[in-house]
């Protein structure tokens, strides 16, 4: 199977799989072929399972306040805080560029 990837596909940038090397693509192909075995099973008229809890009833909680009030504890977890606010870089952190990704994935087995 061959895959065509747009050079700026957001999903590609989000993924932890390396699409650029032949090895990465082969690995992906193998994974998809493995998953294709699902098609062998006849699933007509059967709802897909989306939760292992499907036999359980969804628990409904009473509307009384029992949580919160732990600002100090939570703020301790953040590297940088200002007056009880969490501090983050401005705007949104952009996805890593292609060059940056290669160094991120250097040590991965994929």
Lookup result for tokens 């009473």: 62
43 lies in the site for another protein, by CB under 8 A: no
Q: How far is the CB of 72 from another protein (least distance, A)?
A: 9
**Exposure string (b/e) for 16-28, b if CB count within 10 Å is 16 or more?**
eebbeeeebbeeb
92 lies in the site for another protein, by CB under 8 A: yes
Q: Which letter does DSSP use for residue 18 in this model?
A: -
Distance in angstroms (rounded) separating the CA atoms of residues 4 and 12: 11
32 lies in the site for another protein, by CB under 8 A: no
14 lies in the site for another protein, by CB under 8 A: yes
Q: Which residues bind another protein (CB under 8 A)?
A: 10-11, 14, 50-71, 74-75, 77, 82-95
């Amino acid at each position: 199977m061959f895959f065509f990837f747009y050079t700026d596909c957001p999903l590609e940038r989000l993924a932890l799989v390396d699409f650029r090397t032949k090895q990465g693509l082969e690995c992906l192909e193998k994974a998809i072929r493995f998953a294709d075995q699902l098609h062998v099973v006849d699933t007509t008229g059967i709802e897909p399972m989306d939760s292992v809890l499907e036999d359980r009833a969804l628990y409904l909680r009473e509307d009384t306040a029992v949580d919160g009030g732990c600002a100090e504890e939570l703020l301790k977890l953040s590297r940088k805080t200002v007056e009880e606010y969490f501090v983050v870089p401005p705007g949104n952190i952009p996805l890593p560029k292609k060059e940056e990704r290669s160094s991120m994935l250097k040590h991965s087995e994929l």
